[in-house]
Amino acid sequence: MIKLITMKNFFLVLYTIFKVLICLLITVFLVYGFMNVSIRPILGNDNWDFQIVFYLLFTLFTLIALWIIPFIKTSIIIKLIPIVLLIVQFKLPHLMPSVIHQFKQIYCIEDGICHEGAEVYRKGQKIIINKENCLKYGWKWNEEGKFCNLNDWARE
């Protein structure tokens, strides 16, 4: 009877390790694209920013925790750690100006809504977004939000 209990525990441990390894493989597969797209351009650049790299690594750590903790038999307090990490993850960009600037720059490139001070390139020339340049090029300026809408449909 004792051997069956120890074998059962042994297989439970192996099963848990197997679930964790599968979870890690899935996480690495999913996050590989995220890391490849996000960190490679930053580290390949001579003027990379520590705040952005820290935010990306914290995001990776949070994703891994969210995938691993549910598969491990632990106490309720340990299972709450990923939720706390997720809350910190959502609040962290507001404490890091470089991350907020990066989000605004990406939003500017993707959607054409550029905040004051952003740099855009149009017809081979660099344009710094401000009220004067926005109106000069026929774009729509929002005084309240201090941003310029570069989309063609927003032209007056």
Total domain count, the chain: 2
Residue 107 maps to a domain: no
- Structural domain boundaries, residue 10: 2-96
Neighbours of 89 (CB within 10 A): 17
Contact between residue 104 and residue 115 where contact means Cβ atoms under 8 Å apart = yes
User: Do 81 and 118 belong to one domain?
Assistant: no
User: Do 44 and 79 belong to one domain?
Assistant: yes
Residue 38 maps to a domain: yes
Q: Looking at 68, 96, 124, which one is the last position of a domain?
A: 96
pLDDT digits (tens, 9 = 90+) for 114-143: 888 888 887 788 888 899 988 888 888 988
Residue 42 maps to a domain: yes
User: Do 81 and 129 belong to one domain?
Assistant: no
User: Do 122 and 88 belong to one domain?
Assistant: no
| pLDDT tens, the chain, 156 aa long | 455 567 778 888 888 888 778 777 766 766 665 665 465 555 555 566 778 778 888 888 888 887 778 777 888 888 888 888 888 888 888 888 887 877 777 778 778 888 888 888 877 888 888 999 888 888 889 888 888 988 765 444
Residue 71: burial class (beta carbons within 10 Å; 0-12, 13-18, 19+)? middle
Residue 101 maps to a domain: no
Residue 72 maps to a domain: yes
User: Do 91 and 121 belong to one domain?
Assistant: no
Name the H helices within 73-138: 76-79, 81-91, 97-111, 131-136
User: Do 17 and 86 belong to one domain?
Assistant: yes
